[in-house]
Structure 1
Amino acid sequence: MALLQLDISVALRAYALRVGLSIDDETVALVGPSGAGKTTVLRSVAGLLRPDAGRIELGGEVWFDATTGVHEPPERRSVGVVFQEYALFPHLTVRQNVAFGGSARVEELLHRLRIAPLADQRPGTLSGGERQRVALARALARQPAVLLLDEPLSALDAHTRAHVRDELQDLLAELGLPVLLVTHDFRDAIALADRIGVIVDGQLRQLGSAAELIDRPADAFVAAFTGSNLLHGTATPLAGGGTEVQLDAGGLVRSSHHADGPVGVAVHPWDISLLTQPPPNGANALAGSVAAVTPQGERVQVRVGALTAELTTPDLERLGLQRGDQAWATFTRQSARLVPLAAPPTSANGDSG
């Protein structure tokens, strides 16, 4: 399978997008806030936007090179694209929409994506999940060497989203293509991607597996985006080892990690325990009232002050905590990870610094 390589720069209104990536037969998700530059990367690979500088190639075939002036149009790039709103032709049937991508594999794709019974219907009569499958079939009908997915699940309701996410996960595993996926939802990225790149203000902050981003975030933004609680403060190294952090919002936290100066304190929700009485002196404990209790399947998220803890339902029942109750959120020094408030962008080959 050909390797997709890109190293591009695009001047946007508020900042310059600079991203370097190498993608093999895997799915790479670009995540980050709206306006971070994720879709600009996708459009550049598809040929819908011309970068200001850099190079894009697939297996040695150059699609864009600012130095030599090469810029292949979209129709000459072996790319299949699924747009955010699917962009199906409303006046064409499902079969005709798929055939627009290429006629050779229409019947195969209709059956493979389980939309053969819908072949003579028009997009307006389909559900969100059905429209997504049609858009995928049309993209694959081009027999692409690269698949691009722009927010493929954002148009779906919560129930349909979970089901279609599972279907898409299985399909991507079968394809064996370089797949570049854009999403603002970290949960979708975890489910669908082999590697995840976090883009903020046009800079690739970190690239790695979901486990790497969760366990070793490059900076405070990555930590918060992946679901950690984040507290800001000023770190002072301790003579005996470890660090003491004076929190900006008040309170003191100690960590077994080393830092000096302004930092973020990142704590996973599942590393937090709740108490109904003050803990012994010296423990990391922040007091607050219970602001929210949110069931999450077999677990429950409980927000106490600025922290969210994740407990089992039996543990919450044992504590007897309800909204408005006073509680103490506690965590160990080892689970208080110290992260810089900002990180340099990753290098052009996509490795984290």
Structure 2
Amino acid sequence: MLTDNETRAGPATIRDVAARAGVSHMTVSRVMNGDARVRPETRAAVQSAIRELRYTPNSVARALSKGVHHRLALLHRFPNLGTQGEFLVHLLAAARDHHVDLAVLRVSSALEDGAVVNELRDTNVRAVILAAPLAHDTELVSMLREQGIALVAVGAARAEMTIASVRIDDQAAAASATRHLIALGHRRIGFIKGDPAHASTMLRLNGYREALEEARLPFDPDLIASGAYTYRSGLDAAEQLLGLPGRPSAIFASNDDMAAATMAVAHRQGLVVPSQLSVCGFDDTEIATTIWPALTTVRQPIQQITAAAIDLAVRQLAGDASAGAIQQVFEHSVVSRESDGPPASGNGDDSEAGRG
């Protein structure tokens, strides 16, 4: 469910309109094209469904028949693009469904902003999907706007952001995952933060703290380790947490790569997951089900998020100015797999018990 003025999990399609009106999608198409042969009562039903679902026709696809071809680009700063397989597959599929081309460009640092914007201009890219944290690069956003390029942000957003965005509520999601571990009986829960350049880092930490406060558990700064959303940083953070005199009985890492690294450190230290250490990640990327044991994690509805991102970009290209300010927030879920369980000791503090 969305928490803004959009009421669907994704953009309405012509088939959704047809189902609501009780007609075929071809009839909907005839109504939209002004076919006088459609009966008045049928036309009224279709028009009512369009209004109720806030359906926006794919004007870009129509433009193709007139020789107009649109190019979009994904700008990213992912440490490892290979870990974003599901995201890229769905984003490319959504672009294909809208009959637009999608280029993928990495912006390694702010020093590359000007060169990237020039490349977008020279290749006639008219809309850009900004993967986190690029939407918070104010200079990049300003340069893109000066070129008249439509913008959509994917991922956590700071309150001051004024461009269209699609995301989950990162704070609420992290609170849900922490509550899940608390419900299992854990009381000392370590937390691995992400890259400080990402808005999601503080939001997820806030969610962790929110759940602790709800359960009247103390916040212990020693249980917080810094990461960077990379596997390598996860190794270092897990070593820090598992080296504490009173080590945690569970560790919640801010993404799946760092959670996988945590499990690797646990294995190396002779700790059995989950009987001696529970581990939870975030994102439900491919690695969550390819490591052993399979990772408990927070799932984002990637297919819906990517479809909405492309749709908002396309709507802006079609002249829908309101699409440039829409903030869509999708539901998350906690997926419990084999990496979590009750703590070994009754109070959730398994500091030295059960080491191999």
- Please confirm whether the aligned pair reaches a TM-score higher than 0.5, indicating the same fold: no
Query: Greater relative contact order: 1 or 2 (C-alpha under 8 angstroms, separation 6 or more)?
Result: 2
Structure with bigger strand share is 1
**More helix, by proportion:** 2
Question: Which TM-score tier does this pair reach, normalised by the shorter chain?
Answer: under 0.3
